[in-house]
Structure 1
């Protein structure tokens, strides 16, 4: 087994310097840190977790709170979780995954016991009940999500409001004037989950600016639920010529039902989605979409948290980001990829 002393010899530094690079207790120059980390990677050095925690009074464990709810699309949540674990490991941290819906009690249990020294929270709601605890005396934390009031918090997320606006701009630019939104499950909106509410805000705001009529219907992901929503839309807004879908499980049922009712995509109706690129590209009709950058969200959350933990006076968090470890909001700019599912609306019959 490789020892710390062997890493020090390989890097040409003292053992204490290696220790400081691992613990972040003292400022070490970027050049030296890079050399030490290269030696650690080359030699395959793995610090003993128990000894490391005793020596530094730090567990070097990050708790990741990711409630796996039945009305959420779990694969995207897990992709973010894997990205968090990978990025944390690169910085010498392990991840404790908390998948229950315990809220503040789980946060108190993990941080109060000293099991984890920092927390990343996912599935953030606009008025999240975990936030008062973080603001009062909580551990270093980063939210993958944006609450209604982010003051004093460290947050990273996709700019979902801008994502909604992008969808409307694309369809309005093609000539669509009536758009229906197939949204997340009703429970997602009942909890005021941030990403869904913010996307809807962007859709509605831009639709008003572009003189577009917008109809939003929450939807479970089953075939029957999508059929019911599609029937309601047809009855309430027969002039709808485009759909925006923010519900990964509803994508294929919607495309199948449109085919079954004789509506071709995009000749008769356009479909745009806010979803993972893989889902959009592999759909039965390749979907024009705004991607969810799951990997990037996980990586950026860890980088912001490491910067906070290291607390370097020069703001250098020993990563390739430009964050400084202080509280604040970082929203990733969304991008819309045009594929086969969007086009101009069909010409209206005379008199319509």
Structure 2
């Protein structure tokens, strides 16, 4: 028996060097690659503190914006909120005061009102962390949309973001700070992947990515970091209102995406801001989408860049199957819808013929 145990131990000792021979070079290559990436990636990582900084949150009277403001205040930030409704803003201010003991400044302005946005930011003073969170979504097929709806969504989600950054940025650039500042833009997973029934919403959220990528190049020399937050569906009041208008097909496709609690999205957003990330995914699906679609986006972490290089192809393959499944669902749904319409017409025609026969003398 001892001889048998000794033989097993000897075999294990023989295998161990072989494992090192094969695994060792792989580990060495990965470490060397990480070392190269750490010197090459731009703009690289940064720490953006929240405590003691001025955090300005739009769409801050409810939902994700309110949750971000509350958590920032709890971490010692000076918080300002901007939204349209004065009554909701006052309720948000009272809720933050009650939960954190912090007082906040509030500004009742529509982000489409450039002069109003400019005046509010001047009154608020230099911003250290700007969170562009305003926005809304509707689920409706393109041919069913009113163009006034499309313009309103693009004005709030995109043009409103331009208004905010345009007037918050000059003081951020001109006021010296050795500590990085941040501009955070709340996009969506629908800004990473097109979704049936969301044409105008996806258009607005995809546009924010282009804005964020170009903006980071413009502001990096001023020690300002841009981050693009891409949450999945979050059961905010706005989402619940929009869901009432979802088609059954949109609901069927959206069910494949997991939802998140508003507090978790706020925590992921603030963690992303503090770590100086560009892409801030909020769950594993968003992380996979950010790896597969990183493209020419700013690189902030050697490890994340390593994942992008080695995993993007595999994730793309998975997305091909996922999107293919969506197209199959859409095709079957539309076929069933056409059949249902044809059956209804046939019933109506039969009833009409039957009625005419009864009237025949």
TM-score by length of 2: 0.30
Richer in helix (by share): 2
Richer in strand (by share): 1
- Structure having the higher Rg: 2
